[in-house]
Amino acid sequence: MTEQTPTMPADHRELISDLSGIVCDYPNGDPEDSLSILAYDAREVLDHVDTPEGRRERAGYTVLLHATCWYVAARLFSKAMYTSYTKALEGFRATLDPANCTCPDGSHPKDGDPEYSVGVGVSLLTEAGRAEFVEDYGIDDEELAAYDCEGFLADLADEAAARIREAYEENFGDIDVSHLDARYVRDGGGIDVVALQKAVRHSSEGNTGPVALWSARRWLSGQVRDEDRLGLFLSLWMGIDQSYAGLPPSYARDMAAAVDTIGLEVSCDHQRHPWSTAEKTVESRYRAVIHLYAPEDHPDTPVPADLASRERWECPVQYAELARSAKKNLEGWRVMRGGGEEDWEV
């Protein structure tokens, strides 16, 4: 860098470091706080967007919101965050007219990786940052001007806003799993617990969340035969336990409601219960449940014979133990993914 080139403000360098950690999925601090501030600062630009400074900042913040929107969509469960991003993006979009684009075809900046885009976005906020960006990357005035193009920025704002809207529905909306009735409800109204377990077992296929949600809703509907209650609840429990990265409120609400139906103030004379004897692996628990529901087809079980009576399996204390651990996992999702009580309310 030459001595004549202005230097980027120190706080902007910190912003690059902070946002780079977030988009690389290794945040340095609380990403919800950092991204809330980013969206707030972006909305503040709308008050002076018709000034040269405001137009520079509009370009920078549009790039930054676009670069970080995937993290909001995939990692954070705060309705306020989604609203803040949407207001900023829609506010910018209202000031942009793609018809003003005079760029040659194909000359708009290509969509780079989010970490690179973070550096570009922060650089665009100030004249000093732009000068440093030009020198570091050897771009010409025409290439720099393309970042201010209203057509380019409108496309970024539209894409980011669409992603936020779609994620909002996925994370907070009503997930339809009614199509699973045909797969797991037998003729006559019984539940195919073995089929449920096979689906939960293959978590890599994306079955776990939908199957656990279906189990929760079936439980809450009351359309469960007595002989199927245990298998259905264990399928719900396993779905919660195996969702290691947590599921959004659109799933967690009904799961929490189902778990809350279990009474916790219970006691028994049993020293141990069947579930506690299965190893804490998906395979071991799977074998325990399918043996319980189809012993002739699946004779192998990790549960000792002296603990395998249906009476022990159905013990209210075992249900309570399962419910407590499920509640702990559900609370862990809240802590891990952020948001307030209102975002996770049942």
Per-position DSSP letters for 232-259, written without gaps between them: HHHHHHHHHHT-TT---HHHHHHHHHHH
Helix 114-124 and helix 127-137: axis angle, to 10°?
A: 130
What backbone torsions phi and psi does residue 191 show, to the nearest 5 degrees? Answer: -110, 135
Q: In angstroms, what CA-CA distances link 121 with 11, 61, 279, 323?
A: 14, 6, 50, 47
- Tens of pLDDT along the chain (346 residues) come to 455 667 888 999 999 999 999 999 999 889 999 999 999 999 999 999 999 999 999 999 999 999 999 999 999 999 999 999 999 999 999 999 999 999 988 889 987 799 999 999 999 999 999 999 998 888 888 889 999 999 999 999 999 999 999 999 999 999 999 999 999 999 999 999 999 999 998 766 678 999 999 999 999 999 999 999 999 999 999 999 999 888 999 999 999 999 999 999 999 999 999 998 888 888 999 999 999 999 999 999 999 998 889 999 999 999 999 999 999 999 999 988 888 888 998 6
Return the closest-CA partner of residue 86 out of 21, 167, 5, 170. Answer: 167
Give the integer Cα–Cα distance in Å for 199 and 192: 11
Closest-CA residue to 239 (of 208, 217, 283): 208
Gyration radius from the chain CA atoms: 26
pTM greater than 0.75 (yes/no): yes
pLDDT at 114: 94
pLDDT of residue 6: 73
- The whole-number pLDDT of residue 3 equals 56
